Amino acid sequence: MRPPFNTPPLGATADNSGFVRDFVINFRLQRRTDPTPQEYRVAMGGFSPAQLPVISTLPREFAVYDRWFCAVPSQTFCNRMFFHASTSNGFVTNQGGDGFYKWITGPAAPTIFNRLDEAGISWRVYYDATQLVSLTGMVHAPVLHQYWKTNFRDMDQFHADVENGDLPAYSFIEPRMVINHNDMHPPFGAVRETTIEDGGGSHHFYNSALSDVRAGDALVQEVYDAIRKSRTPGKSNAMNTALVLTFDEHGGTYDHVPPPAATPPDRSGAGEMGFLFDRLGVRVPAIVVSAYTAQNTVIHDEMHHGSVINTLCRQHGLKPLTLRDQNANPIFNAVNLTAPRQPYTWPQPKALYIPTNPEEKDAAATVQAHRHRPLTSPAQGLLGLLLARFDPGAKAPKTYGEAYDAIRLYGKGLFGTRDGEG
């Protein structure tokens, strides 16, 4: 953690070899021996289509991008801020020397939500009711705090809006990140041993396998099915709603495509850790579902998180937020049919996730059963933001129980719910 950190030498060609190299280095540190090929190949593993039927079916049946890059080759908060503000205020790490406080006191960078609101165009952020707090609202607190009660609603409101044809011009849906999380992150610091047997003998791995990515697949099905079944004439419905599915960053998952050069959001120079914001981050999955998208559409255009902002600015005649989104490709390239596909012909994939807790939506019941279960890194970050704003000296929660206590103490009533109250 010293300059130049892990910045490659000038003129170096990126080859993405660091995924395996990092695995090997940490294996040596932990085991005092080199990993075998069978052991380090796990760094390049993945999930089969059969394990995640929903997010495997939708790309085949609609559009998938094979060159959609996240905004920063770094962590969650930086990329989430870029997704709606087209800048991260020069930050490249979730935490600084003052913890998460920098996000609360940082510059008031306008977001696409502010642009829409100024133009009188509707928007909403939907979050999970059991979480009480929106990560989007917290990351952009300096400019979105005024909208916490008016434009932030829980997922019950989303389903009501879809059913009644009342979806706004732009909706953003957050996964659940804390208790019974469905954001596909593994818990931080929870380690267990896995043994793989093959013809060459036993191979032992250590991983954080106490989460289930299929919960995220179930969330995608929930949202997709709601849109697919929406029929309200003359209002929002399946025929005029595009669903864009993507990820904030790659989460450490292996990729062989090096990130390309990028336009810095402004001309302010180097940011945190000396990064110039002149390179994009690693590729992330990106899927577009719409009635005007043909089956088996694969789009090779270079895209990044500024593409959604660029699309909304072009669609509604808004000025760009920064140089980054001004030069992005919009997602109009996913619209390639003149005659729409009727929703009854759309696929109906089924997620395989079965909640371990039958009272999944009852956060209190889960906490009682799993009070000491560790939080994911994004969950710790969300609680860190909450405490940085309302109780900077408090100890950051690390377990379900600590998170439940903190989020009810500091987060209850901050954001709007379906009934319009906090």
The 10s digit of each residue's pLDDT in 78-99 is 999 999 999 999 999 998 878 8
Q: How confident is the model at residue 207 (pLDDT cuts 50, 70, 90)?
A: very low
- pLDDT at site 201: 58
Residue tagged 């379900």 (tokens)? 400
Q: What is the pTM of this model?
A: 0.92
- pLDDT at site 422: 47
Per-residue pLDDT reduced to its tens digit, 340-385: 999 999 999 999 998 766 556 677 888 887 788 888 888 999 999 9
User: Is 34 part of a structural domain of the chain?
Assistant: no
Counting the structural domains of the chain, the total is 1
Mean pLDDT of the region 264-284: 93
Distance CA 151, CA 160 (A): 15
User: Is 130 part of a structural domain of the chain?
Assistant: yes
- pLDDT at site 197: 56
Q: How confident is the model at residue 139 (pLDDT cuts 50, 70, 90)?
A: very high
For the cut 60, the answer to whether the pLDDT of residue 198 exceeds it is no
Mean pLDDT of the region 132-159: 96
User: Is 3 part of a structural domain of the chain?
Assistant: no
User: Is 11 part of a structural domain of the chain?
Assistant: no
Mean pLDDT of the region 227-250: 97
For the cut 90, the answer to whether the pLDDT of residue 410 exceeds it is yes
Q: How confident is the model at residue 205 (pLDDT cuts 50, 70, 90)?
A: very low
Distance CA 97, CA 1 (A): 12
String of DSSP letters for 239-288:
TT--EEEE-SS-TT---SS---B---SSSS---GGG--S-B---B--EEE
The fraction of the chain above a pLDDT of 90, given in percent, is: 75
- 279 vs 188, higher pLDDT: 279
In terms of C-beta density within 10 A (0-12 exposed, 13-18 middle, 19 or more buried), how is residue 419 classed?
exposed
Mean pLDDT of the region 192-212: 53
User: Is 330 part of a structural domain of the chain?
Assistant: yes
For the cut 90, the answer to whether the pLDDT of residue 256 exceeds it is yes
Distance CA 85, CA 140 (A): 8
Tokens of 87: 């800048």
User: Is 379 part of a structural domain of the chain?
Assistant: yes
Q: In the chain, helix, strand, coil percent, each to 5?
A: 35, 15, 50
Mean pLDDT taken over the chain? 91
Tokens of 174: 């957050």
Helices (H), 2-154: 18-31, 37-40, 53-61, 76-85, 101-105, 112-118, 135-139, 141-144
Backbone torsion region of residue 58, taken as left when φ is above 0, otherwise alpha when ψ lies between -120 and 50, otherwise beta: alpha
Distance CA 392, CA 395 (A): 8
Question: Cβ of 189: how many Cβ atoms within 10 Å?
Answer: 12
Distance CA 396, CA 386 (A): 10
Mean pLDDT of the region 10-39: 92
User: Is 177 part of a structural domain of the chain?
Assistant: yes
For the cut 90, the answer to whether the pLDDT of residue 24 exceeds it is yes
Query: CATH code at 306?
Result: 3.40.720
- 245 vs 253, higher pLDDT: 245
- pLDDT at site 168: 98
Per-residue pLDDT reduced to its tens digit, 108-134: 999 999 999 999 999 999 999 989 999
What range defines the domain where residue 283 resides?
A: 50-410
- pLDDT at site 366: 80
Is 284 within 8 Å of 246 (Cβ atoms)? yes
User: Is 186 part of a structural domain of the chain?
Assistant: yes
